């Protein structure tokens, strides 16, 4: 079996071996694949692995040997599942590999918004403490998380883990979801979406992307938030209207925001959130701890091994 990885660099930039996958077939790994390179690189592939390289209906039609696709991520919108269903080609993904990594990143960004550790460290390096007449100083007053309300949009695995971490800081927990959940072990309260945005001190997005919630975080919802509130998005960029959020930050409708995802990645220079006041942006890295990437690799190996045994797992193609 010919196994082709179209964009393997972010999974393994040199610290996460392909060895176990290499043992399952004839393996070819490309760091990155441009659209005009896909057909030539994938033409002889029986098994394709992709993370962000799109495989659409047109490409599927020109890959006669293709038998299986495993997406190197949880989200699989880069693959035309319907076109693959038409040819009976199973598609698998990698669920639950980065729950702790993403949840930790959420708290890291929240703590930076509240304590400005990086900014103060840079100011010390620039000599500000050495020239200070007092034994201490602060460029921003810190915000205590104890007693604040953490509102979570989407209470899946990551949302639940973020709630657990918030509880450890003494935060009050709220969540919004289409249907209230039963028998939750955490002291977390369901709120309608608009009420949650109005009540929460921190809103953290953890919902999947659907046609119904495209850019649902817009000026209307943002206008309901407290002036002291923070918004955090480590889920999908298309949940947030970036122009509306930049405007809300510029007009101090909310105090700050932190995002790990943007509408175009790498971002365009004119993205309105780059340079917006009190807006932290990290380069889509919340998923990328070494332990999370190792789990992703091993689950992918399991996906390929299961397909070769005739019993595909983690399927997202409706079978």
* Residue 143 to residue 137: CA distance in whole angstroms: 15
* Residue 291 to residue 101: CA distance in whole angstroms: 8
* Residue 188 to residue 171: CA distance in whole angstroms: 10
Picking from 241, 156, 165, 173, the residue whose alpha carbon sits closest to that of residue 207 is 156
* Residue bearing tokens 């200070």: 132
Phi, psi of 164 (to 5 degrees): -60, -45
Contact 31, 10 (CB under 8 A): no
Active site residues: 236, 265, 284
Contact 205, 232 (CB under 8 A): yes
Helices (H), the chain: 19-22, 38-42, 57-61, 81-86, 99-115, 117-125, 157-168, 193-199, 219-224, 242-250, 290-308
Picking from 99, 109, 196, the residue whose alpha carbon sits closest to that of residue 152 is 196
* Residue 224 to residue 211: CA distance in whole angstroms: 23
């Amino acid at each position: 079996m010919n196994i082709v990885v179209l964009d393997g660099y972010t999974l393994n930039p040199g610290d996460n071996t392909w060895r176990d996958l290499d043992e399952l077939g004839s393996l070819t790994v490309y760091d990155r694949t441009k659209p005009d390179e896909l057909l030539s690189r994938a033409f002889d592939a029986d098994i394709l692995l992709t993370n962000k390289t799109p495989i659409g209906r047109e490409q599927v039609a020109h890959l006669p040997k293709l038998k299986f696709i495993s997406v190197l991520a949880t989200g699989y919108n880069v693959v035309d599942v319907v076109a693959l269903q038409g040819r009976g080609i199973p598609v698998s993904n990698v669920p639950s590999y980065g729950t702790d990594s993403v949840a930790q990143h959420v708290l890291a960004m929240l703590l930076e918004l509240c304590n400005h550790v990086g900014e103060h460290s840079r100011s010390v390096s620039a000599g500000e403490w050495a020239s200070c007449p007092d034994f201490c100083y602060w460029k921003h007053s810190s915000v205590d998380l104890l007693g604040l309300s953490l509102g979570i949009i989407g209470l899946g695995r990551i949302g639940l883990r973020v709630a657990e971490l918030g509880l450890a800081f003494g935060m009050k927990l709220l969540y919004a979801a289409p249907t209230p959940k039963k028998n939750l072990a955490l002291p977390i309260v369901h709120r309608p979406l608009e009420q949650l945005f109005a009540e929460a001190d921190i809103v953290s997005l953890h919902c999947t992307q659907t046609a119904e919630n495209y850019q649902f975080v817009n000026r209307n919802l943002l206008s309901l938030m407290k002036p002291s509130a923070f918004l955090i998005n480590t889920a999908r960029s298309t949940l947030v209207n970036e122009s509306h959020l930049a405007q809300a930050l510029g007009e101090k409708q909310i105090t700050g925001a932190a995002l790990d995802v943007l509408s175009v990645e790498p971002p365009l220079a004119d993205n309105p959130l780059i340079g917006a006041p009190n807006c932290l942006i990290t380069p889509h890295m919340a998923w990328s701890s070494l332990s999370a990437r190792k789990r992703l690799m091993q689950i992918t190996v399991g996906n390929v091994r299961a397909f070769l045994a005739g019993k595909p797992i983690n399927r997202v193609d409706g079978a």
